[in-house]
Structure formats: structure tokens, C-alpha cells
Chains A and B, each alone.
Chain A
Amino acid sequence: MANMPQDAGKEAIQAKGWLYAHKWLLLRRISQLGILLLFLTGSWFGFWIVKGNLASSLTLDFLPLTDPYILLQAMISGVTPETAAFVGAAIVLLFYALVGGRVYCSWVCPVNMVTDAAAWLRRKLRIRGSTHTSRNTRYWILALTLVLPVITGGIVWELVNPVSILFRGIVFSMGLAWLLILAIFLFDLLIARDGWCGHYCPVGAFYSLLSNHAMLRVSAAKREACDDCMDCFNVCPEPQVIKPALKGAAKGASPIIMANQCTNCGRCIDVCAVDVFQFNNRYSNLSQSGLQPAKDYSKHTV
């Protein structure tokens, strides 16, 4: 029997205990806040672990990391970066291509904490209505952010990008950035479910494109145990990715979630009382069962 959205996760807490029903959520929060802390040790305690911010950083004065999406915009506007920037971007690209691009969204991005909070409150306050926009809008915006540097010669998106503005706000100085973040919170809470991250954010759109061949996947390994409580659909920020894997047995689809929009947040694993989901690699189950990847069925779902 389907649960109400506001009750999502209650069964899991009863079945597994609070801590275990929040395992991946807690790990993600530790990751997100920990990354922020790494950038702040210098100004707080006087020794730098990581300098800079998510756009480009230097870890322990040795390891360069650069956001490939921002670097791409800079290069489109006509700049020749230093080698360190290329190396940094290559490391980041490789990492996310391996673990899934949108791991950036759920394990690193600070805006995720804001939109998760909005989604949680939306469920608790039983706010149902939501404007309908295509989830593909983000790819249009992504294209727009790559065209604007050609026309204007500047990195236009970085003037308003909430992801970098919030991170920079915390690590450097906030200014009026909190207004922008508040706007996103209220938009997600009152106007559109998963509005920002699920429909508009071009950063997530860029990283989702890295996900196509990623190794780390969520798998509905025990999908026959599913009791249709709908908790996973209610908590998932990209619920369209679940169905092909969870309900694809009849069509011969693999239980592995192959859609590149899955953020690997693991919240579905947390809230499932019967432990249908688990983290897995993309090839598990495929060879032994001869099943097709679920992605084929999810490509056009919106």
C-alpha cells in the first residue's frame, strides 16, 4: 500500500532504526560539510588544507582541482589556461566519469542541502501542487551558458550561478548571496518540487552527461521484495530514474539504475524498509541474467 509523502521513511525507521535509515543521508551531509570545512581551516585555524573554491582549488599546495564546466566556459570565451588547470579538470572529469557525474550534486554541492531541506519541508507541510516544466530544460540552459561566453566574451553564468555563489559565500564572503539561496529554497518549497536541481541547474546537467559510463550505480537488486510503498519515489530528487529499474522485471530490464540523472544520493536505499536498493557497479547482474540495461527504457521519461 502506498504511503503518503509526509510519511516517507517512517517504515524504514521502524524496521531498521533511525541511524540505519539515515545512513547515506548522514554520510552525504558529512561529505558536503566536510568539504566546506577543508576550504575553511585556513581562515578558522590558520593552516590551509584546500585553498580556493569549487571553481578551482589547490589541496595541500600540491593537488590542483578545477571545475571542468567553468573551465570550459572560460575557454569558450577565449582564454588559454595554465597546465595546472587542465590537469585539475582532467582529474575531476575522470573521478566523476567513474563514480557518476551527479555525485557532485548529492555529495559535494552546497545547494543540495538547501533544496533537500525544501523538499523535506514540502513533504511535511503536504504541499502538493507543482508547476510542470520539462526536466530537460536544464540541458537548454546548459547550452545557453556555453553560448553566452561566445556572444559576450565573459563567463556570464558565473555571475548568477547559485552553486558557486553559495560555496564562495561560505568560504569567502556572503554579501547578498543568501537572498538568491532563499529564493531557490522558496521556489522549491512552494512552486516546483525539485525545481532548481531537477529542472534548471545547468551544473547538474553538465555533470549528468559525465554519468553515462559511470561504474557506481544504485541497483534495485531485490526488486521482487518491493511492496509499492512509494517511499523511494517520494524522497528521490529524480524519481523518473527509479521506475525502469524497479518495475522493469516484466520487460526484462536490469535492476541497475542506468539513467544519468540519478545523483547516487542513496536516499532510496535509506528509506526502503525492505532493502530493495543497494549500491552496486554497472555490470553486476548484467552478465549473469542477460538482462538489458534499464537505461534504454528511461531515456525518454520526463
Chain B
Amino acid sequence: MGKSTKNSKGINRRQFLLTTLKTACSVGLVGVGLGFYAQRANALPPLAIRPPGALPEEDFLGACIRCGLCVRDCPFDILFLGQLGDDIPSGSPYFIARTGPCEMCEDIPCVKACPTNALDHSLTDIEQARMGLAVLIDQENCIAFQGLRCEVCFNVCPVRGKAITLEMQPNVRSGKHALFIPIVHSNACTGCGLCEKACILEKAAIKVLPLDLAKGELGGHYRFGWKEKQKAGEALVTPDVEHQYNLPEGVRYELQGEGLILDGKAQQAMPNKPFSSNPLDTLNRNPEEE
């Protein structure tokens, strides 16, 4: 009797251990599968942009509990939650700049709504948001590069004149016109996507990309001579010899200033400039007078 009790106990312990091991192993396998799935599923496609204040993607996925409160509090209804089957992590908020860009509300209601700080509550000035970076990615199709006046991206930019500036370059094709090239500045661009939305092309030439995709990074060993010089107050390598221009007396030349400068004396010595500053004078000039 005693022996049989012991026996049955032994079998029970054996069964218990086996069952536990089986369950633990199966659950462990599920865990490994889930881990791999999470790795794949957590890759955010570049055109899906997180709301303002979103933590760096890896931290964001740990912090966002997928409640959708930011979606509800967005007054422009641009935010969506990733669905199962999308390539966006299931339940996490995003917007697509081309169809619905961030309108950059001053009170940033989406950030205020976030209960977990996945949208960082320390962001209080929307111009400090860095949702991504606009990149003029297709210079072949952007009509500004063809010499056409467009500048729509420049004009809709909410950080006007800082995030996108227009740089004039000579139009080599016509030889006499200028190209007005939009240049994005990462120190001011919030990545709101209004420029991408407004781009007049069939497919936008300017696109908001995730920062790490859009930005290059200079090797840490680079030193720019002119910056080092400015920092040190003097040239660090050889003594800086000022360039001497071979010019008549009383005439100076400033490379980065106004160019040719005539002192008072020289001005008097050369009273008749070849052309007046008013172009009409040249047009109305009577050749017989000369």
C-alpha cells in the first residue's frame, strides 16, 4: 500500500515536470516567434510619419500603448492608427504628408492627449518638433531646376524663410535668367509635410523623410580650416598672408564684401563711370553727344 502510494506520487511528479516543461517550451517558442515578428512588424515605412514629439522610433514602440487619444484630439484628423495587415506597427499613430500633413497647431493637442509620454510632453513649441526632414529628393523633375518660377513649397512652409529658403543660381540654359532653388534647412524644418502636400508635381519632388534616412553624418575626424581659424582667432597652420591685389592707388577689393571700392580720391579721379546706376540713363543716352 505504502509502496503504491509512493509510486503514484512519483508518476505524478514526473507528469507534473513533463507537463510544465512542455508548456514552458511551447510558450518559449511562441515567444521567439513573437520576437521575430515584432522585429519585422516594427519597421516603419519611410512615408509614415509619427506625430510631433514622438520619441525615437525604438523608444516610441515601447512607450506607445496604442490608445488612439492623439488621433481623437487632432483637430485636422490627419492621424491614423496602423491596422493589422498594414506595414505600419499595429495600432501605432502616423500620418502621410502627401495626403494629410501636420498643420502644426500651436497648442499641440496630440502631444497633450498622450498618456504615456510616447509623444514627449516636454515639446511645447511646435517649431521645435522634428517629425522628419523635408528633402528635395527629385531635382530632375522639380520645375525650379528647369528655371520655372514655382516656389510653392517655399510659400506654404509654416516656418517661413527659415526652413526653406530660395537660392538664386544662374540659369545656364538661357544664359540670362536665374533658377530659384528651394533649399531646406534641417535646423528649422519640423517635418510637418505641408511642402510635400503642396508640391505641384503629380508625385511630390520634395518629401518628408525620417531624420536618420534624410541626414548624412560627417566623420568625426573632419576639421574645417576656416571654422578652426574662426575659433582660434588666427590661422593654425601657416601665418595667414593677406592676398594682395594689383590695383591702382585708392582702389580696394573686398572678396566677400561689395567688391571694388573706390576711396574718395579715386572716385574724384574717375568721375565718369562707364555706366550710370540707373539703366534708363544708358538707354536714353544720345550717342552723338559723346
Q: Which residues of chain B from 88 to 137 have a CB within 8 Å of any chain A CB? A: 89-91, 113-118, 121
- CB pair B91–A164 under 8 Å, yes or no, is yes
B171 within 8 Å of A (CB atoms): no
A151 within 8 Å of B (CB atoms): yes
- CB pair A159–B89 under 8 Å, yes or no, is yes
A154 within 8 Å of B (CB atoms): yes
Shortest distance from the beta carbon of B149 to any chain A beta carbon, whole Å: 41
Contact with B along A157-185 (1 / 0, CB 8 A): 11110001100110111111101100000
Shortest distance from the beta carbon of A62 to any chain B beta carbon, whole Å: 13
**Which of A70, A136, A149, A159 gathers the greatest number of chain B CB atoms within 10 Å?**
A159
Once the chains are docked, how many angstroms separate the CA of A180 from the CA of B84?
9
Once the chains are docked, how many angstroms separate the CA of A30 from the CA of B151?
57
Residues of chain A within 8 A of B63, CB atoms compared: 74, 77-79
Once the chains are docked, how many angstroms separate the CA of A78 from the CA of B116?
11
**Which of A64, A147, A175 gathers the greatest number of chain B CB atoms within 10 Å?**
A175
Residues of chain B within 8 A of A176, CB atoms compared: 83-85
> How many residues in A have their beta carbons less than 8 Å from beta carbons of B?
59
A209 within 8 Å of B (CB atoms): no
Shortest distance from the beta carbon of B68 to any chain A beta carbon, whole Å: 5
Residues of chain A within 8 A of B114, CB atoms compared: 82
- CB pair B68–A172 under 8 Å, yes or no, is yes
Residues of chain B within 8 A of A52, CB atoms compared: 67-69, 72
Residues of chain A within 8 A of B84, CB atoms compared: 165, 169, 175-177, 179-180
Residues of chain A within 8 A of B19, CB atoms compared: 134
- CB pair A158–B23 under 8 Å, yes or no, is no
B166 within 8 Å of A (CB atoms): no
- CB pair A82–B115 under 8 Å, yes or no, is yes
Closest A residue by C-beta to B70: A52
- CB pair A67–B65 under 8 Å, yes or no, is yes
- CB pair B34–A56 under 8 Å, yes or no, is no
Which of A51, A137, A171, A180 is within 8 Å of B73, CB to CB? A51
- CB pair B38–A148 under 8 Å, yes or no, is yes
Residues of chain B within 8 A of A34, CB atoms compared: none
- CB pair B91–A81 under 8 Å, yes or no, is no
**Contact A172 B117, CB 8 Å, known A52-B67, A155-B65, A158-B90:** no
B235 within 8 Å of A (CB atoms): no
Residues of chain B within 8 A of A174, CB atoms compared: 83
- CB pair B59–A53 under 8 Å, yes or no, is no
Residues of chain B within 8 A of A53, CB atoms compared: 66-68
- CB pair B117–A79 under 8 Å, yes or no, is yes
B165 within 8 Å of A (CB atoms): no
Closest A residue by C-beta to B58: A153
Using C-beta atoms within 8 Å of the partner chain, give the interface range for chain B: 35 or more
Once the chains are docked, how many angstroms separate the CA of A282 from the CA of B86?
47
- CB pair B35–A66 under 8 Å, yes or no, is no
**Contact A148 B67, CB 8 Å, known A154-B62, A169-B83, A176-B85:** no
Closest A residue by C-beta to B38: A156
B275 within 8 Å of A (CB atoms): no
Q: Which residues of chain A from 72 to 93 have a CB within 8 Å of any chain B CB? A: 73-74, 77-82, 84-85, 88
Shortest distance from the beta carbon of A207 to any chain B beta carbon, whole Å: 17
A71 within 8 Å of B (CB atoms): yes
Residues of chain B within 8 A of A82, CB atoms compared: 114-117, 121
Once the chains are docked, how many angstroms separate the CA of A44 from the CA of B19?
50
- CB pair B91–A88 under 8 Å, yes or no, is no
Once the chains are docked, how many angstroms separate the CA of A106 from the CA of B232?
73
B64 within 8 Å of A (CB atoms): yes
**Contact A78 B115, CB 8 Å, known A53-B68, A55-B66, A173-B81:** no
- CB pair B72–A140 under 8 Å, yes or no, is no
Residues of chain B within 8 A of A229, CB atoms compared: none
Closest B residue by C-beta to A154: B61
B201 within 8 Å of A (CB atoms): no
Which of A81, A149, A159 is within 8 Å of B37, CB to CB? A159
Q: Which residues of chain B from 22 to 56 have a CB within 8 Å of any chain A CB? A: 23-24, 26-28, 30-31, 34-35, 37-39, 41-42
Residues of chain A within 8 A of B116, CB atoms compared: 56, 71, 74, 79, 81-82, 85
Shortest distance from the beta carbon of A108 to any chain B beta carbon, whole Å: 15
Closest B residue by C-beta to A86: B115
Which of B28, B35, B58, B66 is within 8 Å of A158, CB to CB? B66
Residues of chain A within 8 A of B28, CB atoms compared: 144
Residues of chain B within 8 A of A153, CB atoms compared: 58-59, 61-62
- CB pair A144–B27 under 8 Å, yes or no, is yes
3 pairs of A and B residues whose beta carbons are closest in the complex:
A175-B83, A77-B62, A176-B85
Q: Other than A140-B24, A173-B81, give 17 A-B pairs with Cβ distance below 8 A.
A: A42-B72, A48-B72, A51-B113, A58-B69, A67-B65, A74-B62, A82-B114, A82-B117, A137-B26, A152-B39, A153-B58, A155-B65, A155-B66, A156-B38, A158-B65, A159-B90, A179-B85
Please report B residues at the A interface, Cβ cutoff 8 Å.
19, 23-24, 26-28, 30-31, 34-35, 37-39, 41-42, 58-59, 61-69, 71-73, 80-81, 83-86, 89-91, 113-118, 121
